[in-house]
Structures are given as structure tokens and as C-alpha cells.
Amino acid sequence: MAKEITPRAEDYSKWYNDIVKKAGLAESSAVRGCMVIKPLGFGIWENMKSVLDGMFKETGHVNAYFPLFIPKSFLSKEADHVEGFAKECAVVTHHRLMNNPDGPGVVVDPTAKLEEELIVRPTSETIIWNTYKDWISSYRDLPLLINQWANVVRWEMRTRPFLRTAEFLWQEGHTAHATQAEAIEEARMIHDLYAKFAEEYMAMPVIQGAKTESERFAGAIDTFTIEALMQDGKALQAGTSHFLGQNFAKAFDVKFATTENKEEYVWATSWGVSTRLVGGLIMTHSDDEGLVIPPKLAPTQVVIIPIPKPDPEIMEHADRIAAELKSYGVRVKIDKDDKKRPGFKFAQYEMEGVPVRIGIGKRDLANNIVEVARRDTKTKESIALDKVGEHVRDLMDIIQNNLLARAKAFRTEHTTTVDTYEEFKEVLAGKGGFIIAHWDGTAETEAKIKEETKASIRCISNDAVEEEGKCVYSGKPSSRRVVFAKAY
Amino acid sequence: MAKEITPRAEDYSKWYNDIVKKAGLAESSAVRGCMVIKPLGFGIWENMKSVLDGMFKETGHVNAYFPLFIPKSFLSKEADHVEGFAKECAVVTHHRLMNNPDGPGVVVDPTAKLEEELIVRPTSETIIWNTYKDWISSYRDLPLLINQWANVVRWEMRTRPFLRTAEFLWQEGHTAHATQAEAIEEARMIHDLYAKFAEEYMAMPVIQGAKTESERFAGAIDTFTIEALMQDGKALQAGTSHFLGQNFAKAFDVKFATTENKEEYVWATSWGVSTRLVGGLIMTHSDDEGLVIPPKLAPTQVVIIPIPKPDPEIMEHADRIAAELKSYGVRVKIDKDDKKRPGFKFAQYEMEGVPVRIGIGKRDLANNIVEVARRDTKTKESIALDKVGEHVRDLMDIIQNNLLARAKAFRTEHTTTVDTYEEFKEVLAGKGGFIIAHWDGTAETEAKIKEETKASIRCISNDAVEEEGKCVYSGKPSSRRVVFAKAY
């Protein structure tokens, strides 16, 4: 089974597609650019959702649901926004099919043309701010802290499972505030929340920072991003939180009466993460044998395999160990299939990234031990029968921490501070990764570097220190270094 | 506040719309037929989802996600199916907008026409069975037990919040089986699961039965339904589970190798409940003062209100009571707002259907009591401070049971067995409700009765007993009574 995966060193992109396919995470569908998310891929997304949803609620947000469709005219109301989204959207023009008068099948009924075309939402700022207009009239209505879990569609030309698909699943938060300061604080709070989620749950370290003007969300004043590093040295934008200023309030005329009874436009944020995170998770931890999932997000954390197959004695121990693990909150499964050989099962769970495998064999039982195998390190240990529950429970944190440490070490190795454009290009052509370099702050230089090297500015990091320097490209003065990388 | 609701006796339909609006459950949007589900309405749906999702998983199902779009040609592959859905669907014809060459705004880019139009899914049998073709080749791949939580679109001409909207949220289960018997068993098991959910969680009693041929799902061999009774004497189809036979397997050529290595078509089921359930919940329990929600599904189960407003002494007790209730798993909220008067808050929470309200006032505290008010009975009691936690915890079940008992009593009162068409029409014109009558089994009679009285056959009840009788309409022989009602 493992042999079917292209090694990373040979072709990273093919390796990724192999993992997605062989582990059963997703597959392409009959609809261009849309994927089918299979049970394992969806199970990971469900766990992500559940954690994030809890974090949003703890910070005072509530969920709601807004329409899938956006009237075409709404898109045009915010100038940058329409520029950003009009060129890649699914347009609904009719509301009925009819029997084909000239043959079999059905055709669009020309008499069922919509008066105004509807766009399948690429993001929901416009329909939501059109709604907020009726919800907000006074400072008493603020802040409004709403999140939506939804599907969105962007008609991408080049798609890849999870990383870039025409339809994807995401959450989009849309908040309204009385002051600029409060809106900025909200956008930053969510930025921190995303970073915390990435590190603590996905075991995926991220750089936090602000986007340059050319990389900002269409309609935002400021875009805060979390940037992760994949194993091929390319960056992945994993989540963004936008301070939208009063742009959408002005576009949709949303004003409120202040405590002093003056009319003012409302301040806004929006923020989102998507099924793209599943792609990031895969590319951060997996290896040439298959998927590796951090325990906190693994749909199955432990699998118990009877060797060579289930029998009453083995099953008694399997059930007892499973019950103990469940009592600790561990998601455990016993593989009771008696047609497949253990070797086949081992390979299957390795491929599917189950963090821990417990093998229970007759001979081991005679010695009161079982075999515990870790997916992350591919090490095996014999553990005493009466200790295995606690041992495996503790392994959950140990594996989670090991994956984060490993990813951090990789990132440290692949983060290079450079002072010249030669070095810049050399690193990029070699090990890749994050390149920390001075930039003169102009969009022209940013564009030139991207054109010549394919590396873009991922962000102006929150941790960047003030320091005098010269732009690696133009030699013009710069007051802080920024983070470059090739990116997904 | 309560005065703003139209009484049920005056205009039930207006009453419903008033509740939806005043309680803040949903509102219409800028897109025809699509609603915005507001936080309270969505909170109820989230609770429903969470319970149902657990029930599906306990019975061996897993979640996955399939594309929003369906190629037009897929719809035509199952003859009944296309007949049922082609006339009311949103059709995507283009994938790009462009700047309007003749003025402001954007227009559809005529060069971005899709080769084949895409339908926004009205239900997903076709795209899913097209996918299952690649997933199923042997009996070892069966059964396949998959559920999807998704939005779907049916271009309804007359819409009502939750009950009938162009876009709605639902779950759709799609299972594949090796034998007819197993597929029927699955469809029936889910039918029972839906009935259990309706009664135990929604406190909404339902009649379980099979649909007649004319009321079946487009493409089904058998449709099992749960039918609830609303307070205006009309029925609500609250959930359906379909045995699809081999129709979709044949349409999409999905065969499997049996244990005897013969090729056979796969047997299928599909089943779904939707945000329509929220409408059913509202119409089953609410009254002229506002929403009533059964505790098991209430986003907030208990609200604590300081009287006249928060102060340190009151808050100390409020926090202690809230902490105790939380420790029992009760969802409790303290209203700390010090600008609104208690009377205003009482009316607000009554409108929003919070099952229990605890008022903590200075004078009561001096006597070591607090006031506990039930939403369902609108009764108040003084409860000793040291007993209030346990008292309110126990009220959760008491209220839940009372609501179910009340709804059952209403249904009993509004279920009438009739033997003549005169009686049939008389009951329908009077108290309405379920009418249990003999029917000759023909679609003609069914259609005639519907045409003349607007009552349809809701189902052939599982509980119907074999008995000789005569059709109330045609006088022809009948072997069992069926359930008639006007319906939503």
C-alpha cells in the first residue's frame, strides 16, 4: 500500500495528491474544480469546526445563516470588492429547466430568466452588511458579533484538493463595532485565536503579521494573516482576519446613533478559515508512508488490532483497553474485521494517520504485554497490559507536542535572514522556506520581486523589529524586514 | 411587546409570522424566497443538528460532503427525479462577470458561458450515486452509510420562513446496500429515529407511516414519513425516509460483486430533515405571548434576572445559582444589563421562549427565596434559595414532559375517525386535524378528495389495523383506514 505513494523528495505535488487519494481524504467530482470530501477528510474538518466554534462562542460570538445567493448589484457597491470577486464567480441566471423540445434530456427554460442575476457567494460581506443595515440603529445594537459556517464558490481556474477548490467550506465572521479601536482589537483578537488554534490543535506553527496593500482582502483596510510553512519550503496562508474600516458601512449605508446621539458609520471586521486548513495539516505532518494527524484533530486517535485475528481472549482485553481509553476521552476503535491480515491493517492505519496503534497478540498476552506503535515516530514499544491505558492516554499529548516541535524545528531550519538579492535568490532556489529581508515598502518592488522569483511578501510580521536597512532589491532605505516566500 | 403578536385565534398564519419576527428567529432577505436565519433560530437548529448527528453516528453513519452543483445531464438520468425537480431549480450558466461597457456596475460576461449548465442541488441523489459508482465494486464495500449536512435550493414560488424557503438547510443520508431487505430495514430504522427525535427532543408527537404513490419522493419506491399536527389543525410533514430500490443504481450503473461473485445492482435509501423542523417546533408549542421551546432544544434554558438591577449581593447569588445549574449541564444566562427594566426583560424572554426565568429581588433575598417562572404554564413559585438549583434542574424534564403531554392531548382531540364524506368535510371545516378514514386505494379518489377539500393523505399509518370498510368518497371496498389532513 505505502509503495503507491510518490516520495516527497521525488515530486512533492504528486506526493500530496497521492496522500489525499490513498488515505481517502477527498477526490475530484464530476463538477470542475469541486471536490468530494470523503469521510476521513470530513472527520478532520468536523473536529476543526468543533474546536473553532467553541473558541468563537467563548469570545462572545454567535452563529447565524445568510443566503447562498447575492444579487449581482450588491457586489458592485464596494469598488475593490467587486474588482476582487467578479471575475471568478458562479452566476445563476434562470430558475427552471424544461423538457428538451428537440430531443431527450432537459434544457434551460428561456422564459424563466431572473430579472437580476444571482451570484453564488464567494464571501458574504455584501449580503450581510445589507442585512446589518436593519439590525443596527444605535450604539446599543453594537457590537454585533456573528459567525457563519457555510460553503462558498470562487471559480478558480487551477484547483487542488483542499488547497484551492471552486467550492469550499469555511467560517466567516462578520462583526460591527462603534469605534475604530474596538474593530481593530476584534480583528487582532481573532488573528491571535487563529494562531492559537493552528499551534495548539493543528501542531502547525505560524507567523502572524499584516499583509501588504497588494495582498490585502478586496475591501479591507488591513488584513492580518497566519502563515504556515509546508515541507516543500512553500508558505500557506492559513487564515485571515480583516479590519474593514467603514468601507462596507458606507457602501450599504449602515449608521448608528452614538451615546452623544450623533450619526456615525459602523466599523467592521471579517475573518475566515476554510477547508484549506485540512491541506495545511496534511502538508505539515505527513510522510512518505501516508497521512499523519495530530491526536487532537484525529477522528480516530487509537486503533486496536487483534493479531492474527479476533478471538474471545484477545477481544476481552481489547474491549477492556478500549473502555479505559474511552473513559479518558480518547477516540478509540477496535478493528474486528477477520478477513484482512494484520499486516494489511497496519499499512491501512499508517496510511490514514491514526496516531497510535495497539497490537494485541496471543504470544504477547502470555507475557502480559501488548505492542504500542506510534505513527509520528514509527517506533514500537512493548507495554505491560495493566499500564497500556494510561501509557496510551499520555501518548496523546506526547505525540501532539512532538509534532509541533518537529514542525517548529523544520521552520527554524527553513527561515533565513538575507541581506542581498543574490542570497535571496540562492536560498529560494535551494532550501526555500521563509526569507527575512528588507523591502523598500513600494508595490513596484514587491511586484518585481514576485515576477522575477515567484516569491511574495507573506506578511509584515508582528515580531519584526525596527532596524535600519536597505531593500534587497532596490537598495532604498527600509525600517524593518518582512517575510518572503513562495506560496500556495 | 407581547401585544404586538396577532392572537392565534384571529389569524394563525399572521401569528406565525409575528412569532418568527418578534422572537428574532429569521427574516426575509434581499434574495427572493431566501431567509436570514438569526442567532436564536440558528441556535435551535444547531441543537437539533447536534442531537441528530449523534444519533446518526451511533447507528453507524459517517458524514461526508458532496458538491453544491449538479451537472444538468445528471438530473435527467432518473426519469421521476427530473420530473420532480427540474421545474424549480437555480441554474448556473456563467462563471464570470465583467464591467458593464454601457454604464456603471457589472454584467454577465457572455464569453464565460459554461459548456454544460449546473444546477444548484435540490437534493443530492444524482451527484452522490455518480460518486458511489467508483466507491462500490464488491459486497465488501457495502453497506455504505453516509450523511451530509448541507444547503439545498428549490425555487418555490410561495415561501414561508422555515416551512418553505428557496434555500434551506438540511441533512441528507444516502446509503447503499447489498440486499433489498437491508435497505428497507435502514429506511425504517431512520424513520423510527426521526420519530424518536421528534417526540423526545422536540416534544412533538408524530404519526409514522408510508406515503401513497402520488405523495412519494421523486424516484422512490417507498417513502416513510413522520407527520406532526400544528395548532391550527394542519399537518406538517416533518421528515421522510425513502427506500429507493435500485432506481439510482440503475440510472448511474452502480453494481457490485456478490459473495457468490455475481454482478447485481446496489439497493439504496435516502432520508432527510431540514430547517422546516424549526417551523414545526414553533407551531407545536408557542402561544400568543411568543415562542415556547422545549428545554432539550432551547439555546438558553434558564435566564436569571436581577430585580430591579444587578448589585453585588444579588450578583453573588445569581453567580452561585448559575454555577450550580451549569454543573448539572443546564444552559443558563444571567442578564446583567442595567439599562433595561425587569418588566421589559420578562417580556423579552417570554417572547424568546426561554423555558425558566429566575427573578432575584432584594426583598425576596431577605426571606431567602427567589421567584421561579415557567414559560410553558406561565406559573410562578417562590423557591428557597438553597433549593433553587435542584428545583430548576428538575424543571427541565418536567417542562419537556409537559410540552409533549400537551401536544399529545391536542392531537388526540384533533384526530377524528369518520365513516362518511359528509363527516369528513364537516370535521375539516370545523376543528380540522387528522381524519382517519377509509380510502379505496386509487390515485383518482385521492386527487378528487384533495381537489374538493384540500385535504391530502398524509400517510398510511404504521398503526393502521386491517379492517373491512368502504371508501368515504367512492364507497368502494377498503381494507384499512388512512390519515387525511390539510397540510403545510
B153 vs A contacts (CB less than 8 Å): 68
Is residue B35 within 8 Å of A142, Cβ to Cβ? no
ipTM at complex level:
0.97
Question: CB-based contact (8 Å) between A44 and chain B?
Answer: no
Question: CB-based contact (8 Å) between A71 and chain B?
Answer: yes
Whether residues A238 and A358 fall in one domain = no
Do the Cβ atoms of B97 and A118 come within 8 Å? no
Do the Cβ atoms of B42 and A63 come within 8 Å? yes
**Does the residue B118 lie in any domain?**
yes
Question: CB-based contact (8 Å) between A377 and chain B?
Answer: no
| Chosen from B68, B100, B114, B168 to mutate, greatest number of chain A CBs within 10 A | B68
Ranges of chain A whose pLDDT falls below 70: 1-3
Give the model confidence (pLDDT) of B85-130 as tens digits.
Answer: 989 999 999 999 999 999 889 999 999 999 999 999 999 999 999 9
Q: Among all residues of chain A, which has the CA nearest to that of B53?
A: A46
Domain span including residue B124: 2-285
Q: Among all residues of chain A, which has the CA nearest to that of B120?
A: A92
Whether residues A229 and A324 fall in one domain = no
Do the Cβ atoms of B64 and A38 come within 8 Å? yes
Q: Examine the fold and report which residue of B361, B395, B429 is the final residue of a domain before the chain moves on.
A: B395
Is residue A210 within 8 Å of A459, Cβ to Cβ? yes
Q: Among all residues of chain A, which has the CA nearest to that of B131?
A: A29
Whether residues B337 and B224 fall in one domain = no
Give the model confidence (pLDDT) of A420-468 as tens digits.
Answer: 999 999 999 999 999 999 999 999 999 999 999 999 999 999 999 999 9
Do the Cβ atoms of A97 and B42 come within 8 Å? no
Distance CA B21, CA B24 (A): 5
Give the model confidence (pLDDT) of A237-256 as tens digits.
Answer: 999 999 999 999 999 999 99
**Does the residue B226 lie in any domain?**
yes
DSSP B53: H
Distance CA B282, CA B276 (A): 10
Instruction: Tell me how crowded residue A182 is: count the other CB atoms within 10 A of its CB.
Output: 16
Point out the residue among B36, B88, B93 whose CB comes nearest to the CB of A67: B36
Residue B213: pLDDT band (50, 70, 90) is: very high
Give the model confidence (pLDDT) of A19-71 as tens digits.
Answer: 999 999 999 999 999 999 999 999 999 999 999 999 999 999 999 999 999 99
The burial class, CB within 10 Å (0-12 / 13-18 / 19+), for B327 is: exposed
Point out the residue among B66, B67, B94 whose CB comes nearest to the CB of A91: B94
Q: Examine the fold and report which residue of B237, B261, B285 is the final residue of a domain before the chain moves on.
A: B285
Is residue A295 within 8 Å of A399, Cβ to Cβ? yes
B143 vs A contacts (CB less than 8 Å): none
Question: CB-based contact (8 Å) between B28 and chain A?
Answer: no
Distance CA B206, CA B411 (A): 9
Interface of B with A in 2-21 (CB under 8 A): none
Q: Among all residues of chain A, which has the CA nearest to that of B140?
A: A339
CATH number for the domain including B18? Answer: 3.30.930.10
Point out the residue among B90, B95, B127 whose CB comes nearest to the CB of A95: B90
Which pairing describes strands A481-485 and A255-257: parallel, antiparallel, or unpaired?
unpaired
CA A438, chain centre distance (Å): 29
Whether residues A209 and A76 fall in one domain = yes
Residue B2: pLDDT band (50, 70, 90) is: very low
| Chosen from B31, B113, B116 to mutate, greatest number of chain A CBs within 10 A | B31
Residue B221 pLDDT: 96
Whether residues A384 and A423 fall in one domain = no
Question: CB-based contact (8 Å) between B117 and chain A?
Answer: yes
- Tell me the three cell numbers of residue B140: 465488501
Whether residues B177 and B109 fall in one domain = yes
pLDDT of B45 strictly over 50 = yes
Distance CA B306, CA B317 (A): 10
| Chosen from B88, B97, B131 to mutate, greatest number of chain A CBs within 10 A | B97
Whether residues A169 and A314 fall in one domain = no
Question: CB-based contact (8 Å) between B181 and chain A?
Answer: no
Residue A157 pLDDT: 87
- A253 dihedral zone (left: phi>0; alpha: psi -120 to 50; beta): left
Instruction: With 0.90 as the threshold, say if the pTM is over it.
Output: yes
**Does the residue B401 lie in any domain?**
no
Point out the residue among B35, B94, B118 whose CB comes nearest to the CB of A31: B118
Residues B219-232 have a mean pLDDT of 97
Whether residues A272 and A307 fall in one domain = no
Distance CA B46, CA A65 (A): 11
Q: Grid cell 494484520 — which residue?
A: A342
CATH number for the domain including B480? Answer: 3.30.110.30
Whether residues B202 and B277 fall in one domain = yes
Q: Among all residues of chain A, which has the CA nearest to that of B70?
A: A31
pLDDT of B166 strictly over 60 = yes
Mean pLDDT, all residues of chain A = 96
Do the Cβ atoms of B108 and A88 come within 8 Å? no
pLDDT of B1 strictly over 70 = no
- Tell me the three cell numbers of residue B468: 373491512
Whether residues A362 and A421 fall in one domain = no
In a 13 Å sphere around the CA of B418, the CA atoms on its Cβ side amount to 23
Question: CB-based contact (8 Å) between A104 and chain B?
Answer: yes
Do the Cβ atoms of A127 and B35 come within 8 Å? no
Question: CB-based contact (8 Å) between B420 and chain A?
Answer: no
Residue B339 pLDDT: 87
Give the model confidence (pLDDT) of B373-386 as tens digits.
Answer: 999 999 999 999 99
Question: CB-based contact (8 Å) between A51 and chain B?
Answer: no
The set of residues, in sequence order, having a beta carbon less than 8 Å from that of A183 and lying 6+ positions away, is: A175, A177, A243, A244, A245, A267, A268, A269
Residue B428 pLDDT: 97
Residue A153 pLDDT: 98
* Structural domains of chain A, count: 3
Which pairing describes strands A144-153 and A167-177: parallel, antiparallel, or unpaired?
antiparallel
Question: CB-based contact (8 Å) between A189 and chain B?
Answer: no
**Does the residue B245 lie in any domain?**
yes
Question: CB-based contact (8 Å) between B30 and chain A?
Answer: yes
- Tell me the three cell numbers of residue B377: 404554564
Do the Cβ atoms of B151 and A153 come within 8 Å? no
**Does the residue B238 lie in any domain?**
yes
Give the model confidence (pLDDT) of B279-294 as tens digits.
Answer: 999 999 999 999 999 9
| Chosen from A21, A36, A151, A174 to mutate, greatest number of chain B CBs within 10 A | A36
CATH number for the domain including B353? Answer: 3.40.50.800
Whether residues A441 and A311 fall in one domain = no
Point out the residue among B62, B105, B167 whose CB comes nearest to the CB of A76: B105
Do the Cβ atoms of A97 and B104 come within 8 Å? no
| Angle in degrees, 0-180, between the axes of helices A388-413 and A312-327, rounded to the nearest 10 | 60
**Does the residue A292 lie in any domain?**
no
Residue A3 pLDDT: 60
pLDDT of B214 strictly over 50 = yes
Whether residues A361 and A386 fall in one domain = yes
Do the Cβ atoms of A106 and B91 come within 8 Å? no
**Does the residue A268 lie in any domain?**
yes
**Does the residue A408 lie in any domain?**
no
Q: Provide the shortest C-alpha distance from residue A322 to chain B (in Å).
A: 17
Q: Examine the fold and report which residue of B366, B395, B424 is the final residue of a domain before the chain moves on.
A: B395
A134 vs B contacts (CB less than 8 Å): 27
Residue A1 pLDDT: 45
Residues B24-28 have a mean pLDDT of 97
